[in-house]
Chains A and B, each alone.
Chain A
Amino acid sequence: MPWKIKHYGNRAYLICELGDETRLALLSCLSVSVPEGLIEYVEGYDSILLSFEKKPEMTTLTDWLESSVWGSGAASTRQSADDRIHEVLVEYNGPDLDQVARALGLSNEEVVQLHSGAIYRVRFMGFSPGFPYLDGLSPRLHLPRKAMPRKRIAAGSVAIGGSHAGIYTVDSPGGWHLLGQTKPIFFNQQAAQAKRPDAKHVFQLQPGDQVRFVPAHL
């Protein structure tokens, strides 16, 4: 089986140790059809949490996975990915830019070029509402997170940490390296106050979206 299923509390299963192909196939399937009784699913790095009102038997879930994701009708139920690339305008004036460049043996310009030259994909979200963990960071920019996190990072801060790029969506403490600043529009608290909040209006980005960073002064 290309997945492992674990019990996780009274109401959830965690599907884990997912390789990329399986993970994407499963997510694509979940975007159009879900197992009976599912309340919500949450993406992790290589795992997906399935939360139920009443937890089904593991065999029921396994059956659903096999038929929906790998069954004959599976391909037709998959939703095609959104090809639009979200452009994020960045002022590359972050307090860690110099330090990052030095640590990696690069010039500041090279860091900016490498960071803005890639197309990223939102692998999953978390830490704060709307915070995107972005795949696609150049290996030349991989750097362990700071040993001493900052007490306060402003919303809109564009950052890198480990093998991911990210954007802080609310003021919060944090340990990633700050390369620059963009408009703090990635979690619109006001839009969350609508009677039926629309994810597209509340969050600029969603899991699976593609992103490109554009230097503000070109």
Chain B
Amino acid sequence: MASVEIEAVGSGVSLQDQGRSGWARFGVPRGGAMDQFAMRAANHLLGNSPQAPVLEVQQQGTKIRVHRDTWLSLAGAGSCATFPSWTARRFRAGEVLLFSKSGAGLYAYLGTPGGWKAPRWFDSVSVDPRNGMGQQMTNGSPLEAVSTEPAASINQVASRRLALEAQREYPCEEVYQILPGPQYECFTESALDALVRQPWSISAQSDRTGFRLEGERIQSAESIHSEPVVIGSFQVPESGQPIITMVDGPTVGGYPKPAVLHEQDLDRFAQSSPGTKVRFRWEAY
């Protein structure tokens, strides 16, 4: 019997986990949760394995009805007014979760004991609609937990909360570290400087394949023969507005890449919602 039902999909909900690694040479994107840190936190709160399937809830509008008494956890963006992020508790049948609070952060991760039951492609539940993988949610979709009770102790426990120092906030105008990309030397000094000198705005045309940056045009370099692309890479087309490849992005590309996000900052960067201002600073290898 379904533990919850997605009454309204809202901006978007998708089943995610650690993604699918090892298939990039066949053109399969890694996918998985955009914010892996928050995913692991949602699972940790219930004693799940770190990669147990979670529900990635984007921005606002999602409505979830609980059909059966069950523990749930939430981590990432604080978009649910009645269920604080970085916590877990028992929910009663009939309770409704409404993700309507706007503010910092783009993705909230809803966890459940054992993770959500879902079919797998290349051993991952990650939904990639562009490539026909993953079970997509629609209004009315039911979801079931793998386990009935959390592995973490819940005897006489009303709720669990992640320690403050383990929680994250998603402030505006954060500065993210970037490393030189493969075409770093093909860009002019002023172009490389422009990347870090100005704040950029996250475009509304951003999604799981890539985040588009809006700002003062930077001078691009010549396009290259198709090259493998690492997640977090800055690709600069002729428009001079960089696109940062995210988890569902194509595995090869021909735009020059002056930079790539430091992996420590990927999860945080992925929580930048459209309109958020971001800044970068160069780091060395």
A residues with CB within 8 A of B: 6-12, 14, 16, 39-49, 51, 124-131, 133, 169-170, 172, 187, 189, 192-193, 195, 197, 199, 202-203, 206-207
CB proximity of A112 to chain B, nearest CB, Å:
27
Q: Which residue of A lies closest to B22 (CB)?
A: A40
Q: Mark B95-136, 1 if CB is under 8 A from A, else 0.
A: 000000000000000000000000111110000001111000
Q: Which residue of A lies closest to B179 (CB)?
A: A9
Q: Is the CB of A192 within 8 A of B122?
A: yes
Q: Is the CB of A7 within 8 A of B180?
A: yes
Residue numbers in B under 8 Å from A40 (CB-CB): 21-25
User: Do A45 and B227 contact each other (CB < 8 Å), given the known contacts A6-B182, A9-B179?
Assistant: yes
Residue numbers in B under 8 Å from A39 (CB-CB): 21-22
Residue numbers in B under 8 Å from A126 (CB-CB): 27, 226, 228, 250-253
Q: Is the CB of A49 within 8 A of B27?
A: no
User: Do A43 and B121 contact each other (CB < 8 Å), given the known contacts A172-B130, A189-B132, A192-B133?
Assistant: no
User: Among A12, A129, A199, which residue has its beta carbon within 8 angstroms of that of B131?
Assistant: A129
On chain B, the number of residues with a Cβ less than 8 Å from chain A's Cβ atoms is: 37
21 contacts between A and B (CB under 8 A): A8-B182, A9-B179, A9-B232, A9-B263, A14-B228, A40-B23, A42-B25, A44-B226, A47-B228, A49-B227, A49-B230, A126-B27, A126-B228, A127-B27, A128-B130, A128-B131, A128-B250, A129-B23, A131-B27, A197-B121, A203-B26
User: Among A10, A11, A189, which residue has its beta carbon within 8 angstroms of that of B133?
Assistant: A189
User: Do A130 and B227 contact each other (CB < 8 Å), given the known contacts A6-B182, A9-B179?
Assistant: no
Chain B residues touching A, majority SS: loop
Residue numbers in A under 8 Å from B233 (CB-CB): 9
Q: Is the CB of B182 within 8 A of A11?
A: no
Residue numbers in A under 8 Å from B264 (CB-CB): 10
Q: Which residue of B lies closest to A127 (CB)?
A: B250
CB proximity of B45 to chain A, nearest CB, Å:
27
Q: Is the CB of B226 within 8 A of A124?
A: yes
B181 contacts chain A at the CB level, 8 A cutoff = yes
CA distance A161 to B202 in the complex (A): 32
Q: Which residue of B lies closest to A50 (CB)?
A: B228
